[in-house]
Amino acid sequence: MLYLATAKFLFHLLTASRYGIFRDELYYLACGEHLDWGYVDQPPVIGLVAWSARRIFDDSLIGLRLLPAAAGAATVWLTGKVTREIGGGSFAQVIAALAVVAAPVFLIMHHWLTMNAFEPLIWLAGAWCVIRAINQDEPRYWIWLGVLAGVGLENKYTSAFFIAGVVISIALTSGRRFLATKEYWLGALLGAVIFLPNLIWLVRHDFPFLELMHNIRRTHRDVVRAPLAFVLDQAQNSGIEFSL
């Protein structure tokens, strides 16, 4: 897995400066010049990452895109770990990791500095914690999941869907035994504490993100897809083609 992860990392670094800066990257750099606990359309992490990249690497595109490339490499490596944890042998681990390396959507995500570069890694790490907690019957992994949940929400609000999925799944399966452990609730508390600064910012500013989403729906800026069409779109983004 380490070889594939390194190959992906080097690929993104070697191509980082072949294309100009993406418009969203310009916006995040602007956010980085006005650091705060939140912004109208995203939590604070991306602004902090952009600020750090600008201070360390100045205007270097390679420097700006270093962390997204590293996140991509870590996602490949962790994919192999998760595959092994659910029973996959060496061949399965390599195939799973290669799928992440070759997926078009990940090739794009890990080329630009956006929140999307880090979200898959956070979700995957969270899934690994859940699987380890169940397989090893070890509640301490819920503490780490809570930390990841908090960081995920500070990175992008869609992490709430992953968190909700985990909570519902645990409640409806034999994993509900963890609800009686202190580690589960400690993890939940840590996640809430990590997310709290942004939540306070949202409350103080009357939840501008919700207003933004309302305005987007009202003006029909985004394309609305039916559930099945949406699922097929996501599959195609991952490199899977369908003929209907």
Average pLDDT value for residue range 189-194: 98
> Kind and range of the H or E element at 88?
none
Residue 242 above 60 pLDDT? Answer: no
Cα 48 from Cα 162, distance rounded (Å): 23
Q: Enter the pTM of the model.
A: 0.90
Per-residue confidence (pLDDT) for residue 236, from 0 to 100 = 74
- Give the sign of the dihedral formed by CA 191, CA 27, CA 106, CA 221: positive
Assign 239 a pLDDT band (cuts: 50, 70, 90). low
How far does the chain reach from its first CA to its final CA, in angstroms? 35
Q: According to DSSP H, which parts of 178-207 are helical?
A: 182-204
For 17, the 3-state DSSP assignment is coil
Average pLDDT value for residue range 9-30: 93
Cα 107 from Cα 162, distance rounded (Å): 22
Angle between helices 90-102 and 2-15 (to 10 degrees): 10
CA distances 138 to 77, 87, 135, 150, Å, are 23, 18, 8, 21
Residue 151 makes CB contacts below 8 A (sequence gap 6+) with 45, 122, 194
Per-residue confidence (pLDDT) for residue 243, from 0 to 100 = 47
Per-residue confidence (pLDDT) for residue 126, from 0 to 100 = 97
Beta strands in 13-148 (DSSP E): none
Residue 193 above 50 pLDDT? Answer: yes
Per-residue pLDDT tens for 195-216?
A: 999 999 999 999 998 888 888 8
Residue 219 above 90 pLDDT? Answer: no
Assign 238 a pLDDT band (cuts: 50, 70, 90). low
Residue 144 above 80 pLDDT? Answer: yes
Residue 147 above 90 pLDDT? Answer: yes
Q: 61 and 104 in contact (C-beta within 8 Å)?
A: no
Residue 182 above 50 pLDDT? Answer: yes
Q: Residue 202's Cα: distance from chain center in Å?
A: 21
Per-residue confidence (pLDDT) for residue 240, from 0 to 100 = 60
- Identify the weakest region by mean pLDDT among 35-49, 134-148, 212-226: 212-226
* Amino acid making up residue 200: I
Per-residue confidence (pLDDT) for residue 98, from 0 to 100 = 95
- Bigger pLDDT: 59 vs 241: 59
